[in-house]
């Protein structure tokens, strides 16, 4: 696991100061404040610790050596001499957000995640060597970026071949021995899935991913898959009868697929089968990571003036634009997608209410304009969860505690408690009254390092330039 060892902390502390001026690609910048103290104290804020406990007003939170040393009521906790004090009267503390589904495919993502309070991400599909090197460099403090957990490439017949291997079993073993944090699967038959599960579980790793191809969600859950990424994968296994397709319909055409098949899930899904699969997932402790925002931006909001005017685009370098893989959408396409999106939210809430273990991931990556954007999308996903019926507290816990737990990191991450990593976000307003307040960030603290989101974004623009106007 990419965590910091205690005895190497001071070395890391020194390196951290340098990591602020050193980038992976050797560029130099000096706009971030240097680390002046290993003790940071946040005074006066209301604490929402992520355990589900009611908020505690007027607190003092002491951070030492990157971990939370003490939390208590203001005035009852001694403030160590020489500490860096952050006055946070009227503000709110929440645990650092964790994005459980990203594709960390460009170095410019570092500051965008951090500036939005995303202090940990789980990469679910990037080249093995590159992602493990990045994970190591971040853990050592050589790169200022969110904590990274990674699966390496997803297992499917193509990736098995690309790695020069002969079977899914062999690839699972190779990934496990390389030290991945989980196994992502995107293509397999029943026998292959059994093999993957056997090898992964023997190495203490969860197996999760897509179920949309054979054998489908229900069978995959029966065989023992640990988690499903994308709620559409559950819905697809409930399609009773396909809607009438146009005569030239072609399954391999992405535009056709999303326009005529996916957008029609609201009509073609059998609700009784949906309930059955949800029930079985809950019984078998199979998690669901719906990634709603990705579908909303990619299809519901596709080709709308609102999406085109998104101010976040200025931070997405033009060279990462994704070519248009789908045709243009009109009002009729959007109307169909809105209904399917409502079903996606309904399924998410049903799963939650039935006692299912929800994760929160976005599928964010270096892609614009229609994908889930790094950092921003986590706040949109929080809103979609609340829109689906979760309380703001439940949505926040999904994005923090649940995501930490599924990665086996609940001892270190996911809540604000003594002994845990000092990864937290200081908000200007109360997110329990209005979940959109998570976007109003005063400061982000990662590993006890105090970061100003505005400075991170300015620095990002200086490094990578502003996206040209279309
Ligand atoms: Zn993905």
CA torsion sign for 105, 111, 459, 437 is positive
Q: pTM for the complete prediction?
A: 0.91
3-state class percentages of the chain: helix first, strand second, coil last, to nearest 5:
40, 15, 40
125 CA from centroid of ligand 1 (Å): 7
In order, the DSSP letters of 376-439 are HHHHHHHHHHHHHT--HHHHHHIIIIIHHHHTT-TTTSSS--TTSB--EEEESS-TTT-GGGGG
172 CA from centroid of ligand 1 (Å): 19
156 CA from centroid of ligand 1 (Å): 14
Where in the chain do CATH 3.20.20.140 domains reside? 97-406
102 CA from centroid of ligand 1 (Å): 6
183 CA from centroid of ligand 1 (Å): 13
Whether pLDDT at 421 is above 50 = yes
d(CA 29, CA 401): 34
Beta-carbon contacts of 389 under 8 Å, excluding residues fewer than 6 positions away, are 345, 349, 352, 353
The phi-psi region of residue 35 (left if phi > 0; otherwise alpha if psi is between -120 and 50; otherwise beta) is beta
**Average predicted confidence (pLDDT) for the chain:** 90
- Average pLDDT value for residue range 229-244: 94
65 CA from centroid of ligand 1 (Å): 34
Say how many C-beta atoms besides its own lie within 10 A of residue 301's C-beta. 22
CA torsion sign for 327, 328, 333, 335 is positive
Nearest to 427, CA basis, from 440, 414, 416, 436: 440
> In Å, how far are 98, 289, 406 from 375, measured between CA atoms?
10, 17, 20
Q: Domain 6-94+416-464: which topology? A: Urease, subunit C; domain 1 (2.30.40)
d(CA 404, CA 122): 10
Nearest to 261, CA basis, from 240, 247, 244, 277: 244
pLDDT in tens, 258-315: 999 999 999 999 999 999 999 999 999 999 999 999 999 999 999 999 998 899 999 9
Q: What is the pLDDT of residue 363?
A: 96
Where in the chain do CATH 2.30.40.10 domains reside? 6-94+416-464
d(CA 378, CA 95): 14
433 CA from centroid of ligand 1 (Å): 31
183 neighbors 151 (Cβ within 8 angstroms): yes
Nearest to 228, CA basis, from 212, 239, 240: 212
314 neighbors 467 (Cβ within 8 angstroms): yes
What's 315's DSSP letter?
G
37 neighbors 48 (Cβ within 8 angstroms): no
153 CA from centroid of ligand 1 (Å): 11
62 CA from centroid of ligand 1 (Å): 37
If you search the block for the tokens 């070519």, which residue do you land on?
323
Whether pLDDT at 30 is above 80 = no
Whether pLDDT at 93 is above 70 = yes
Which tokens hold the place of 63? 């951070």
- Average pLDDT value for residue range 317-333: 82
155 strand-pairing partners: 185
Under CATH, which architecture does the 97-406 domain have?
Alpha-Beta Barrel (3.20)
363 CA from centroid of ligand 1 (Å): 5
pLDDT in tens, 165-178: 999 999 999 999 99
305 CA from centroid of ligand 1 (Å): 26
Q: What are the backbone angles phi and psi of residue 19, rounded to the nearest 5°?
A: -65, -20
């Amino acid at each position: 696991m990419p965590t910091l060892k205690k005895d190497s902390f001071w070395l890391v502390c020194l390196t951290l100061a340098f990591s602020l001026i050193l980038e992976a690609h050797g560029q130099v910048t000096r706009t971030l404040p240097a680390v002046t103290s290993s003790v940071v104290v946040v005074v006066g804020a209301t604490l929402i610790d992520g355990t589900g406990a009611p908020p505690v007003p007027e607190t003092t939170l002491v951070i030492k050596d990157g971990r939370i040393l003490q939390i208590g009521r203001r005035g009852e906790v001694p403030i160590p001499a020489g500490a860096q004090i952050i006055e946070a009267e009227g503000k709110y503390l929440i645990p650092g957000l964790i994005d459980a589904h990203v594709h960390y495919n460009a170095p410019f993502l570092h500051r965008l995640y951090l500036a939005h309070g995303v202090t940990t991400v789980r990469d679910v599909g990037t080249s093995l060597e590159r992602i493990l090197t990045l994970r190591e460099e971040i853990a050592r403090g050589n790169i200022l970026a969110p904590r990274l957990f990674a699966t390496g490439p997803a297992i499917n017949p193509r990736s098995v071949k690309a790695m020069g291997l002969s079977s899914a079993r062999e690839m699972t073993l190779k990934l496990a021995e390389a030290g991945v944090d989980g196994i992502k699967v995107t293509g397999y038959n029943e026998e292959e899935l059994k093999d993957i599960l056997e090898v992964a579980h023997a190495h203490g790793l969860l197996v999760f991913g897509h179920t949309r191809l054979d054998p489908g969600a229900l069978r995959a859950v029966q065989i023992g898959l640990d988690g499903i990424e994308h709620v559409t994968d559950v819905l697809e296994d409930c399609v009773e009868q396909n809607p009438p397709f146009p005569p030239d319909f072609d399954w391999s055409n992405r535009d056709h697929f999303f326009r005529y098949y996916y957008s029609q899930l609201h009509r073609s899904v059998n609700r009784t089968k949906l309930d059955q699969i949800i029930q079985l997932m809950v019984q078998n402790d199979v998690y669901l990571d719906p990634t709603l925002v990705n579908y909303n931006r990619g299809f519901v909001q596709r080709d709308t003036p609102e999406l085109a005017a998104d101010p976040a685009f200025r931070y997405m370098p033009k060279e990462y634009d994704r070519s248009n893989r789908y045709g243009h959408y009109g009002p009729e396409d959007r109307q169909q997608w809105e209904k399917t999106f409502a079903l996606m939210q309904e399924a998410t809430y049903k799963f939650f209410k039935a006692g299912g273990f929800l994760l929160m991931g976005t599928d964010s990556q270096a892609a614009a304009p229609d994908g889930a954007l790094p950092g921003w999308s986590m706040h949109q996903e929080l809103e979609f969860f609340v829109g689906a019926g979760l309380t703001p507290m439940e949505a926040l816990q999904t994005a923090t505690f649940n995501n930490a737990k599924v990665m086996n990191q609940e001892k270190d991450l996911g809540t604000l408690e003594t002994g845990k990593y000092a990864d937290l976000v200081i908000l200007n307003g109360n997110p329990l009254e209005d979940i959109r307040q998570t976007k109003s960030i005063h400061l982000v603290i990662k590993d006890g390092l105090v970061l100003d989101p505005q400075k991170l974004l300015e620095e990002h623009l200086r490094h990578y330039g502003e996206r040209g106007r279309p």
